[in-house]
Amino acid sequence: MTLIKSISGIRGTIGGTVGDNLTPIDAVKFASAYGTWLKAQYKKDDYRVVVGRDARISGEMIQNLVMNTLVGLGIHVIDLGLSTTPTVEIAVPLEHADGGIILTASHNPKEWNALKLLNNKGEFLNGVEGAKILAIAESDSMHFADVDSLGKITVNDAYIDMHIDAVLDLKLVNKSAIEKANFKVVVDGVNSTGGIAIPLLLERLGVEPIKLYCDPTGHFPHNPEPLKEHLTDLSEAVVKERADFGIVVDPDVDRLAFMDEKGEMFGEEYTLVACADYVLSKTPGNTVSNMSSTRALRDITEKHGGTYEASAVGEVNVVELMKKNNAIIGGEGNGGIIYPESHYGRDALVGVALFLSLLAEKKMSVSELRASYPSYFMSKKKIALTPQLDVDAILKAMEAKYSNERVTTVDGVKIDFNDSWVHLRKSNTEPIIRVYTEAPSQEAADALAKKVIAEIEAVANN
């Protein structure tokens, strides 16, 4: 079964059996439930929803199904076509819309797609709201509009340019310093919409983009999750072109990672660390990331006199805690930058502009910048779920085993040791248990992960 209903939306593989995969019937069902929920939220005569998609092969099909379902509910649709997740998030309030839907499975392979659901602020729905939509979908209580009350579809393909305009207008984006630096950057757009948006942004900033996999065909040239093992072509291109660094984004452009001038990963965990360092140096304050993210953000925040807090995994959880703590910047260690001066959503375009500003002002190489930060190393492993695995029982057993350590159970089980940590949780986006560890060396992080996975397997086999 590869249909996942979670805080991150409705996600599944294309084709197969209704109810087990993201089939056309499932897409219509959940779009209907979302539209029905939205109409119950806001009692009015005129409803508007912004819809955009990444470049997945199935994207046009799913988008047409979703948009015309909304039309059938009497909801007007603003069709952004090929877009990015942060672009849709920005468009919702600008269009005075009641919500938004992004058709993307983010970092998942090409056979996956998803409906990511937004509220009228352009922010992801919370768990309570998501549960209500799932309940509506299961109840089949949707009521559709009569022929004189159908919605209409309006196409607007200007929003990527408008998004870039908004990024360039941010006070902390130092356009003049970036232009003077004469950067040359290789961009891996994984043949999705980042291949459109990121080079356009770089050109507007006076940076020379060298395009790698920037044709938005949806045929991903490698696993689209921006991890080191998937980015050998980018590494080689950066060195060959003698570029200042490399940029890679995921298919919907809310995750961002950098490659240094030597073809080595800057570390997706350090995307947020670097951007936060720059922002906090100009506007001191607090930060938030999720509890699967590096301790380096805490260190940088405290260096600038701020306070760091960790939330449960999931963008909506990070945003909620950021608002509560008045965080200046936050995000997730997977390369997701949330900068409230722009909007409360992970945004690779904002991250690129802040990173370039930092680099231009510091006048150092990317490898030198990375060496200036506290050095932690992470291991990110996964255990495939089977029907026989009782995840809750496994997590309870691990909690009990390490009860003498600092254990947090807000989201799965996180065990903090003096110089390392491990976080175990069931994924919101894949049928797996995630096993994340961090330690002072890669060897120590890998060894901790290996040890914990062996312990989990021992529990599962008992």
Which residues are tagged catalytic? 106
Question: What's the CA gap between 319 and 330, in Å, rounded?
Answer: 8
Q: How far is CA 121 from the centre of its chain?
A: 17
Please tell me the number of Cα atoms within 13 Å of 201 on its side-chain side.
33
DSSP labels for 226-246?
A: --GGG-HHHHHHHHHTT-SEE
Number of alpha helices (DSSP H) and beta strands (DSSP E) in the chain: 15, 20
Backbone angles phi, psi at 411, to 5 degrees: -145, 95
Can you list the positions of beta strands (E) in 216-290?
245-249, 256-259, 286-290
Question: What's the CA gap between 113 and 31, in Å, rounded?
Answer: 14
CB 419, CB 448: distance < 8 Å: no
Query: CA of 103: how far to CAs of 51, 100, 155, 221, 314, in Å?
Result: 8, 10, 16, 20, 18
Question: What's the CA gap between 13 and 21, in Å, rounded?
Answer: 5
CB 10, CB 22: distance < 8 Å: yes
Question: What's the CA gap between 153 and 59, in Å, rounded?
Answer: 17
Question: What's the CA gap between 415 and 421, in Å, rounded?
Answer: 6
Question: What's the CA gap between 86 and 252, in Å, rounded?
Answer: 8
Q: Rounded to a whole number, what is the distance in angstroms from the first to the last CA of the chain?
A: 25
Task: Write the CB contacts of 398 (distance below 8 Å, at least 6 apart in sequence).
Answer: 413, 415, 424, 452, 455, 456, 459
CB 55, CB 218: distance < 8 Å: yes
With H, G, I as helix, E, B as strand and everything else as coil, classify residue 181.
helix
